A and B are shown apart, each in its own frame.
Chain A
Amino acid sequence: MAEVAQAQTLHEAEPRRAKDYRSAVDPIWCPGCGDFGVLSAVSEVFAERNIDPDNVVIVSGIGCSGRFPAFLRCYGFHGVHGRALPTATGVALANPKLRVMVVGGDGDGLSIGAGHFPHAARRNVDLTYLLPDNEIYGLTKGQISPTTTDLSLAKKALSSPHGSWEQPVNPVGLALSYGASFVARAYSAQRKELSKVIDEALAHRGFSFVQVVSPCTTFYNSYKTITPKVRFIDDEHNIHDRNGALQLAYDRRHVWLGVFYRDPDRPTLQDQFQHIREVSAGGRQRALNDIFRQYT
């Protein structure tokens, strides 16, 4: 008890500020890149909730957006391209007390790593998955991605000089059909809404998915086409109605922002799994001896 009380006074004495969550490394993103907004929003929400950075692990994909962990003061794991979700699932299995966040781009999560998204969603791993979606491969300098909708915006699109016939996928639509228990969309240019959505995602118990529309000023500057289409989801939408949420997700005329769907009652991976614990050598020997008998 004494320890808890002391910890609380410490927190009261020094509430953490957003900049306390930022590391010494300065982002190397291009001026105007949407990812700046995402980074600021995350550190603000962490500060508002006074989250203990020692309990946070950010696992990221590879891409401009995947650089995230380097700029934040908490545990970070910058792994390989497309595999952030399974890596984060391992972290969650090893220590269910950790707050796990995954950050990876549209190429990372919906192209090379697309096979992992449905499984993390249906397992309801208790983590927050931020997908900064710039509809392009930023880090590799401007090839089309699975979410590219308007090739005329692509500055280079070296990989598709003759255009593309491929239909873009809809990240929110996918998350809804994969059974994610929390699905939202935000926009890096709408900072207040972005922080609010990230805050709600962090509060959700279960797999919370946030597509953050986050334009790439260098290779796919979509601010001008997106901003006029933005609409905010209001109370009229029933947040527990997956079909209604799908209709909003596939609305061609508007880009709806806010929480599309939430199911707070589904058991999470962390609830379901036997939590790992230390067993003494004696305990292991006893368990083994019982099992050995079945082999004689």
Chain B
Amino acid sequence: MSDFIVKVGGEGGTDSPTTAGEFITLSAIREGNSVFTLRTLPAEIKGGLATYQVRVSSEHVSSQGDGPDVLMCMNQESYDELIDELDLEGGVLVYDTDSVQLAPQNGADHRLYYGVPMTSIASDEVKERRTKNMVLLGVFSALFGLGLDTLKRCVEDKYGRRGPELVQLNHAALDAGARFVAEKLKKADPFWFQPNPERSGVERMVVDGSDAVAMGAAAAGLQVYAGYPITPASDIMHWLAKFLPQFGGTVIQTEDEIAALGCCLGASFAGAKTMSATSGPGLSLMTEMLGLGVMCELPVVVVDAQRGGPATGLPTKCENGDLNIAVLGTHGDAPRIVVAPANIRDCFYDTVGAFNLAEKYQSPVILLSDQSMAMRTQAMEPPDVDTIQRHDEHGSPSTNNGTLAAAMMDKRYRKVQAARFESGWSRTHGPETAKIGAIGWGSLEGALAEAVDRINANGGTARMLHLRMLAPLPVEEIEAFAATVDKVVVCELNFSGQLNHMIRAETDVRSSLIRKYDGVPFTPRELAAALQEELNHG
């Protein structure tokens, strides 16, 4: 089995490291590997440092892993910014000798360095400076075993429409990179791709969380989308603006988020399937409308791609701190359904599920995704719409006839509480019983699962429960899980432990908290260490 992480960094505009990363991803998929990618875009609108990280494994992977094993630097800035991420023991650096000046090495540095004159190979040999990222890919292929033919075919598929010259040029650059390795470098690291022909063609789509949500909405029959731009949710609107007409739907960019949800509620009132997507600041503005939707029992899906808060906060960073506002936000008592996908596949299927719940329970449903899912890609099987269960009945809007307010409140609570017995909104992982039981929600599932595996591999016992429906809280399920372990810890990407509070308030479980709130997702290593600490001292 092979499983390692590559990170490519360079100048966003001229080096195009993202394109290089995308070709690695696509080729790896075609060779039957599983991938998990993360990209960072430059803060500058044009130019600046862009990075693309991809974890490639011959078996299914569900987290971004710990840190890069192989770092490829196309310019000085990428080296300066990223080199500290590379492990001092055994990390591999591939760098452009034409543009990177290495810092003096100290004795603790046992990394492996491969220098390649990428810029001059592109400019002098291939005679096109812009093929530098293809030279890098040729080097990558020869050094780490990703098939050169596979890469070439990907180039044909992506650039073929633009003429044979472009394809030939890029092929020449790939060959030049590979040739340099064959002639000038001696491989001394253990990282080597293993094609997995059995899996090839299975997980053949590479999708990010935004597109997966948008596709799920289209598959579910979304008809009216209204939204206001906000990072990291805008990509959902962009996808829908492009494709939704093919699905019989329409997209409107409104003047603010209040108008967006207002528009959705109006459309829902008139019988359409509706959705809006936003991030924390937008959800804050929507809360009064959310209460209106609950009161009028109008089906609508609201996606919150969570980012760091409060206020404008950390707009390009990751935090799962909107659970409270999603579950409780708005005045009065306003029960609603809150679900949270944990990976890219979920982003598709849980969006479909959210539409179904909204129709079935005639209620707003909030879907909490986050920045890390919006910006990552994972491989998945192309979904089959026929197998997706859908509810087509249209809700009749409630009349405003002064029915006893108390009876209406009773009804809304009773109705929504029933949703906690819906099956399939949680996953467990690990042995049937264990010393420690971790409960998670949101995008950290993959990292938590790997941490649990590491604990079990190291002689401890751990299991986990990952919740994808958070309101109504599946109280019975949480209590049953707690009965199988000596100790429960809730793992969350926020400061106060919002789910932990809810569990302690609504169940008999006395859980403790593992948390992180620096804007960066948990790595498996961090979670494993925290769980081990709980095991040792808890």
What would 24 A/B residue contacts be, using CB atoms closer than 8 Å? A57-B269, A77-B266, A79-B262, A86-B262, A86-B266, A87-B265, A87-B266, A87-B269, A89-B254, A90-B270, A90-B272, A93-B266, A94-B268, A94-B269, A115-B256, A273-B252, A274-B245, A274-B250, A276-B248, A276-B249, A279-B221, A281-B385, A285-B384, A289-B382
Across the interface, do B263 and A93 meet the contact criterion of CB distance under 8 Å?
A: yes
Interface presence of A284 (CB below 8 A): yes
Q: Which residues of B contact A (CB under 8 A)?
A: 26, 29, 204-207, 211, 215, 218-219, 221, 223-224, 226, 243, 245-250, 252, 254-256, 258-260, 262-272, 274, 288-289, 291-292, 296, 382-386, 390, 397, 400
A267 and B391 CA atoms in complex are apart in Å by: 35
A59 and B400 CA atoms in complex are apart in Å by: 13
Across the interface, do B386 and A281 meet the contact criterion of CB distance under 8 Å?
A: yes
Residues of B within 8 A of A69 (CB): 400
Question: Using a Cβ–Cβ cut-off of 8 Å, how many residues does chain A contribute to the interface with B?
Answer: 44
Known: A287-B218, A292-B382. A90 touches B289 (CB 8 A): no
Residues of B within 8 A of A92 (CB): 266
> What per-residue 1/0 map shows which CB atoms of A67-79 lie under 8 Å from chain B?
0011000001111
Residue from A57, A59, A91, A288 within 8 A of B219 (CB atoms): A288
- B268 nearest CB across to chain A (Å): 7
Interface presence of A110 (CB below 8 A): no
Q: Considering only CB atoms, which chain B residue lies closest to A276 in the complex?
A: B223
- A290 nearest CB across to chain B (Å): 8
Residues of B within 8 A of A239 (CB): none
Residues of B within 8 A of A292 (CB): 205, 382
Across the interface, do B248 and A88 meet the contact criterion of CB distance under 8 Å?
A: no
A273 and B223 CA atoms in complex are apart in Å by: 12
Residues of A within 8 A of B259 (CB): 83, 85-86, 89, 115-116, 119
Residues of B within 8 A of A59 (CB): 266
A186 and B286 CA atoms in complex are apart in Å by: 34
A135 and B221 CA atoms in complex are apart in Å by: 45
A278 and B266 CA atoms in complex are apart in Å by: 18
The interface centre, meaning the residue of A83, A94, A98 with most chain B CB atoms within 10 A of its CB, is A94
A175 and B229 CA atoms in complex are apart in Å by: 26
Query: Which 4 residue pairs across A and B have the least CB separation, nearest first?
Result: A90-B266, A86-B262, A86-B259, A94-B272
Interface presence of A30 (CB below 8 A): no
Across the interface, do B215 and A291 meet the contact criterion of CB distance under 8 Å?
A: yes
Known: A83-B259, A115-B255, A288-B218. A91 touches B250 (CB 8 A): no
Q: Considering only CB atoms, which chain B residue lies closest to A77 in the complex?
A: B269
Residues of B within 8 A of A91 (CB): 266-267, 269-270
A80 and B204 CA atoms in complex are apart in Å by: 46
Q: Considering only CB atoms, which chain B residue lies closest to A275 in the complex?
A: B250
Residues of A within 8 A of B248 (CB): 276-279, 283
Interface presence of A190 (CB below 8 A): no
Known: A116-B255, A278-B248, A287-B243. A295 touches B207 (CB 8 A): yes
Residue from A88, A93, A118 within 8 A of B250 (CB atoms): A93
Q: Considering only CB atoms, which chain A residue lies closest to B214 in the complex?
A: A291
Residue from B243, B255, B272, B292 within 8 A of A119 (CB atoms): B255
Across the interface, do A94 and B218 meet the contact criterion of CB distance under 8 Å?
A: no
Residues of A within 8 A of B291 (CB): 80
Q: Considering only CB atoms, which chain A residue lies closest to B245 in the complex?
A: A274
- Besides A86-B258, A288-B382, 5 other A-B contacts (C-beta < 8 A): A86-B260, A87-B265, A93-B267, A284-B247, A288-B215
Residues of A within 8 A of B390 (CB): 281
Q: Considering only CB atoms, which chain B residue lies closest to A278 in the complex?
A: B248
Residues of A within 8 A of B263 (CB): 86-87, 89-90, 93
A83 and B285 CA atoms in complex are apart in Å by: 12
Known: A79-B265, A90-B264, A273-B250. A288 touches B205 (CB 8 A): no
Interface presence of A111 (CB below 8 A): no
- A103 nearest CB across to chain B (Å): 14
Across the interface, do A90 and B221 meet the contact criterion of CB distance under 8 Å?
A: no
Across the interface, do A87 and B262 meet the contact criterion of CB distance under 8 Å?
A: yes
Residue from B205, B246, B292 within 8 A of A79 (CB atoms): B292
A118 and B255 CA atoms in complex are apart in Å by: 9
The interface centre, meaning the residue of B204, B223, B243 with most chain A CB atoms within 10 A of its CB, is B223
